[in-house]
Structure 1
Amino acid sequence: MNFTRIVHTLHPPCHGDRLQQQNTRHILTFHDPGLYAALRQQWLTSARAGAASRVFWAPLAQCIIAPSPLAEQIEKKWRHEAVTEEDSTIHLSGLSSRTGGGPGIPWGVKAIKAPQAWSISTGYGIKVGVIDTGIDVGHPDLQHSLGRGINLVHRGLPPFDDNGHGTHISGTIAAANSTRGMIGVAPRSIIYPVKAFDANGSAYVSDIIAGIDWCVRSGADLINMSFGMQTRSRSLLDIVNRAGQAGIVVVASSGNDGKRRAIDYPARYPQTISVGATDRKRKIASFSNRGQYVDIYAPGDKIMSAWLHGKYHEMSGTSMATSHVSGTIALLLAQRPGLKPAAIKALLQRTAVPLRLQRGISSSEGEINTLKFIREGLRG
């Protein structure tokens, strides 16, 4: 097969700033792994700097992400070799509230009985990929919980957080400052920050795909995805599948629209663990999506956690609930490495505590109980 034709397509003549101004992108997923591998290899040996900055590769998903004019040219010539999808945007699942002081052990961490489980596990060494807005690398509560990361918004720079959401999520999972700051659910786990979202809390689906790809190749044990969208993406589903096949647990937020029979993607994919939010009364929070597609609930209302510039902030959302679940899973994986995602999901549901009765809520819907989850998981 003539790979040179494809590579030439990806290196078009320069037409002023037209491509630089082009914001829309497409995701091309190749059917044949051999074709994709050969194409990528030839690209890497012949790419010019200008074109290289416009085309991105996700080897795990066998994807090329390219500006629309380039993608359209590839699609015309190779429509039988690849599936093309327009690159859409995706948003965070957190609702901002107020800034506050150091919380010690936040109420949500206490409510799920995480402190009682710390004599069994603190999540030592478990790598949690947090695909979000980055992280405050200088936050004192996260200094001992920070691993390697990547910035997909400003490539080549560290994953600095310019929004706050990613730092908040990371704090709930892995903050470890018992003297002056806060403690997260799994204080000895390691955050692998992936900055895919900009300062406004928006990201491209292609950057989520690239982030999952990076987490898998970097050896993450689980991935926290506190974001969602209402449209289905075949490319995103494909790489979530591949992450699961690699043994990586993917935890995703159900969304903040208060819906009873629908949740956001990617949480709606059965390959993820979908999370809804509860309040201090152990009732489903008014903003949380709920129903049959939600696998587990966790505290998500008025959650205090780490914030930018070493501060703290209170936020609400299924984003916050998701980080409690990710931390809990990290605790178990530290004691039972290699436990399969499907087994973890089943265990979460089996050990959940029934929610307070509400109109329209099934008795089968439950809130996470970290201590019970860990104990039962170690018996299995």
Structure 2
Amino acid sequence: MDTTAFLRWLQGTMTEKGASHRKRIIRFQHTEDFRRFVHEWSEMKGSVSTLQAVRQMGIIQAISCPIPDDSPHRRFDGRVWVETDQRVRIHGVTSRVPAPEKGIPWGVAHVKAPQAWSTTTGHKIRIGVVDTGVDFNHPDLRGSLARGINLLNRSLLPHDDNGHGTHIAGTIAAANQPQGMIGVAPRSLIHPIKAFDHNGSAYVSDIILAIDWCVRNRMNIINMSFGMKSRSKALLNAVTNAANAGVIIVASSGNDGKRRAIDYPARYPQTISVGATTRLRRIAPFSNRGIYIDIYAPGDKITSAWLKGKYHEMSGTSMATSHVSGAVALLLAKHPELTPTEVKSALRRSMQPLRGKKAPRMTGELDIAKMLQIMEK
């Protein structure tokens, strides 16, 4: 491939006036083409301001940039694939200020995390939380936070301007007893990756950059409390490469109350897909469900950390996912050699049956004590 010609074409098309520009993901079929492109682009972007809008995603040999609807594969057919850079949303349903609740939240107790703490607290397990950032000053999170990245503005820390990311981090790893709350894996480390804006919206390319960062920085787990309805080959490619690198990806199924469909990336088999339950061990009415769900966990009226050192109650499959990420951290701290496939198997072999006449028999609810017990046999 003539990467110089491709760069010139890219420069011209990105500055084209009167055209409708949309963010695209352009994947190179051949590694050598991608390497040559990155080398030439790196040398040119300092002097060509247009090219500074191009972002490279090494994990899938791709770039993202705004280009017109006239896609480049017509000129560079067979050498690149092009897809629209879609929008992704976080999976929170409702949010309100709760009645004061300190100590162990109901969901953390419900999945039997406290029974595990005498043998594992998730010590030093690294969890990449791809979300809206985190409140660095929250007293319950200060001891649980490690280095992250702000993909929306790399010169800033990944500060949370929404609340969702802080809520997720709290359920996974809050550690402030007896003054505040405690999460599922209180000695695990949260690496906040801000890919979502204050409205809880991101592009697929932001998610791929986040996955890339997690793989390069050797995260053990990636928490993905978000989703979209349509498939993305680029995102599947990134998820597959991360799983092949040994990273466990936990993803929320979505909040549409669907019985036979769940959102992406949870629908990809390389992830652990999570549905939400209530205190009564029933599937929450808002939760997507069905054959694509690997496991259920508490997701209804979950109290956790919030902005400005406060607490909030939220419902959603996002909240269920954070319980499962914490459970995986507890498991990996004891059995660091486990692969993503083995972790999923351990979760599924130790589930509690769900309640309700129409409850699925093939899957159930997270039970940490049983999971750890099974692993000792």
What is the TM-score of this pair, normalised by structure 2?
0.95
Q: Does 1:323 align with 2:322?
A: yes
8 Å CA contact 1:296–1:367 kept in 2: the answer is yes
Q: Does 1:282 align with 2:281?
A: yes
Q: Which amino acid aligns with 2:373?
A: R
- Distance in 1, matches of 2:141 and 2:305, equals 8
Q: Does 1:345 align with 2:344?
A: yes
- Aligned-pair CA distance for 1:3: 2.4
- Distance in 1, matches of 2:13 and 2:222, equals 39
- Distance in 2, matches of 1:60 and 1:13, equals 25
- For residue 159 of structure 1, what is the aligned residue in structure 2? 158
- Aligned-pair CA distance for 1:205: 0.8
Aligned CA distance change for structure 1 residues 2 and 325 (closer, same or farther; 3 Å) = same
- For residue 270 of structure 1, what is the aligned residue in structure 2? 269
- Distance in 2, matches of 1:164 and 1:92, equals 11
Aligned CA distance change for structure 1 residues 18 and 153 (closer, same or farther; 3 Å) = farther
Q: Which amino acid aligns with 2:153?
A: H
Percent of pairs with identical residues: 53
- Distance in 2, matches of 1:10 and 1:24, equals 13
- Aligned-pair CA distance for 1:53: 3.2
8 Å CA contact 2:72–2:82 kept in 1: the answer is no
- Per-residue CA deviation, residues 3-41 of structure 1 (Å, 9 max, x unaligned), is 22223334349859979xx76200011111121122112
1:1-380 superposed matches below 5 A: 1-12=1-12, 15=15, 24-48=22-46, 50-69=49-68, 72=70, 74-100=72-98, 101-359=100-358, 361-379=359-377
- Distance in 1, matches of 2:357 and 2:96, equals 28
- Distance in 2, matches of 1:214 and 1:31, equals 22
Matched pairs, number:
375
Aligned CA distance change for structure 1 residues 116 and 32 (closer, same or farther; 3 Å) = same
Q: Which amino acid aligns with 2:3?
A: F
- Distance in 2, matches of 1:6 and 1:103, equals 58
- Distance in 1, matches of 2:255 and 2:28, equals 34
8 Å CA contact 1:10–1:51 kept in 2: the answer is no
- Per-residue CA deviation, residues 80-138 of structure 1 (Å, 9 max, x unaligned), is 11110001101111112211335311000000000110111100111101111111111
Unaligned runs of 5+ in 1: none
For residue 276 of structure 1, give the secondary structure of its aligned residue in structure 2. strand
- Distance in 2, matches of 1:282 and 1:29, equals 43
Aligned CA distance change for structure 1 residues 95 and 23 (closer, same or farther; 3 Å) = farther
Unaligned runs of 5+ in 2: none
For residue 78 of structure 1, give the secondary structure of its aligned residue in structure 2. coil
Aligned CA distance change for structure 1 residues 33 and 366 (closer, same or farther; 3 Å) = same
- Aligned-pair CA distance for 1:155: 3.1
- Distance in 2, matches of 1:134 and 1:74, equals 34
- Distance in 1, matches of 2:62 and 2:302, equals 37
- Aligned-pair CA distance for 1:57: 0.7
CA RMSD, 1 decimal:
1.9
* More deviation, 322-331/149-158: 149-158
What is the TM-score of this pair, normalised by structure 1?
0.94
Q: Which amino acid aligns with 2:311?
A: Y
For residue 121 of structure 1, give the secondary structure of its aligned residue in structure 2. coil
Q: Which amino acid aligns with 1:374?
A: L
For residue 53 of structure 2, give the secondary structure of its aligned residue in structure 1. coil
Q: Which amino acid aligns with 1:180?
A: Q
